[in-house]
Amino acid sequence: MTEYSADHGLPMMALDGVTIIRRLGGGSDAGLFDGYEEISPGDPGYDELLPTARENPIRDEEPERPVDPLTMAQVLRDAGLDSLDVEDS
């Protein structure tokens, strides 16, 4: 069986301000995988990744591109829903 994995992108500082998140992906004979690795203080590599992760925090904020109300209305209409049904829930 052959396997490979690689990190993708910069390490990110989690919302807790301590944990580092690193995106991983790869594959094996069983198929592809995609996920995240959590690195905590004391884990191997934590100290080396910390400066970069601090410069790349995960942001807990609204997306830069909000949902277009006309597009949302069209999607709801195509799904057989009414926008008032969605707003009530």
pLDDT tens per residue, range 43-56? 999 999 999 999 99
Residue 13 has what pLDDT?
A: 94
Q: Could you give the CA distance from residue 11 to residue 53 in angstroms, rounded to a whole number?
A: 5
The mean pLDDT value of the chain amounts to 80
Q: Could you give the CA distance from residue 87 to residue 15 in angstroms, rounded to a whole number?
A: 29
Residue 1 has what pLDDT?
A: 34
Residue 6 has what pLDDT?
A: 58
Residue 62 has what pLDDT?
A: 62
Are 58 and 19 spatial neighbours (Cβ–Cβ below 8 Å)?
no
Which residues make Cβ contacts (< 8 Å) with residue 12, sequence separation at least 6? Answer: 20, 21, 22, 53, 56, 57, 58
List the chain pLDDT tens, one digit each, 89 residues: 345 555 567 899 999 999 999 887 777 777 776 778 899 999 999 999 999 999 999 887 666 777 888 888 888 888 888 766 665 44
